[in-house]
Each structure stands twice: as C-alpha cells, then as structure tokens.
Amino acid sequence: MLGVALASFAALSVVLAVVDLRHHRLPHVLVLPGLALALGLLTATALADGAFERVAGVWGGAASAFLVCLLLHGVRPAAFGGGDVTLSALVGAHLGWFGADAVITGLVAGFACGGAAAAGALLAGLRRAEVAFGPPLLVGAWWVLLRAMT
C-alpha cells in the first residue's frame, strides 16, 4: 500500500504544482482529500506491517509540518498562504513515513527551492508575490522521498 500512497501523492503533486503555478492557489478541495487519503493509506500500511513507530511518524510529520507552516502563515499571510499550510501537512505525512529527519530535511529543501525560485523571479524582474510556493515545497519533498526510497 505504500506504493499506492506514493503514486497517488505523485499524481496529486503534479496537479497541485500546475494549479499553483497557474492560479497561485492550492485549493483545499484538492489538498484535504489528498491528506485524508495519505493519512489513511500510510497508517493502514504501517499497522499492517506492525510498524507502529511509522504511524507516529506519519501523523507527527503531518502535524509538525502543518504547525510550522501555520506559524509562518500567521507571520506573513500574504507571502505564505493557507493552501501552502495544508500542503505542508500532506508533505509532512509522506516524509514522516521515513522519520523526523526526513520531515525536517524535506521542509528545509522546499524552503531552499522556494528561495531559489524567489531569487530567480527577482532577477527576472518579477515580484516575490508572483512566485508560487507549492511547487518548490513539492520538489524539496520529492527530493527527500526519492533519496529515502533508494
């Protein structure tokens, strides 16, 4: 079932990245069902494998990523939207399967990608607000996920 969870996350990642790039929105109508599916599949997989520590990792990863990003949203709501907050929970759940280090590294990698995207936008003469954060967050997450799976 882990493969199903990751495959559905991969498909949703593509959809969310395209939507965010085009509309600068990460609709809850897409993100929240994806989060529910991820939590369900990852939890069921961990329980079936008897890997109870992974259940804590999945739920803890989702909650901690959500809370960190909710704090950032509270500080700079115009720069870090509510969709980014819920996306971080989705990302955190998947990264949490591989442990707390994966959650931290994935978020840091996402922020690094976001910073690089913002710097590129500024160099191109665009405003920082024109940079969608969802795609960089997803790139950082997938970089860590792919490394963890090898």
Q: Evaluate if residue 47 carries a pLDDT over 80.
A: yes
- Give the model confidence (pLDDT) of 58-77 as tens digits: 999 999 999 999 999 999 88
Q: Evaluate if residue 127 carries a pLDDT over 80.
A: no
Q: Evaluate if residue 35 carries a pLDDT over 70.
A: yes
Please report which helix (H) or strand (E) contains residue 49, including its range.
helix 28-49
pLDDT at 6: 97
pLDDT at 126: 77
Q: Model pTM?
A: 0.94
DSSP for residue 80: S
Tell me the average pLDDT across 28-48.
98
Locate 80 and state its tokens: 């870090």
Q: Evaluate if residue 114 carries a pLDDT over 80.
A: yes
Give 37's contacts (C-beta < 8 A, 6+ positions apart).
Answer: 5, 8
Tell me the average pLDDT across 102-129.
90
Q: Evaluate if residue 122 carries a pLDDT over 70.
A: yes
Write b or e for each residue in 55-86: b if 16 or more Cβ atoms lie within 10 A of its Cβ, otherwise e.
bebbbbbbebbbebbbebbeeeeeebbebbbb
- Give the model confidence (pLDDT) of 83-95 as tens digits: 999 999 999 999 9
d(CA 140, CA 102): 10
Instruction: State the amino acid at position 57 in one-letter form.
Output: G
Compare 106 and 131 and report the one with higher pLDDT: 106
Locate 46 and state its tokens: 């961990």
- Per-residue pLDDT band for 129 (boundaries 50, 70, 90) equals low
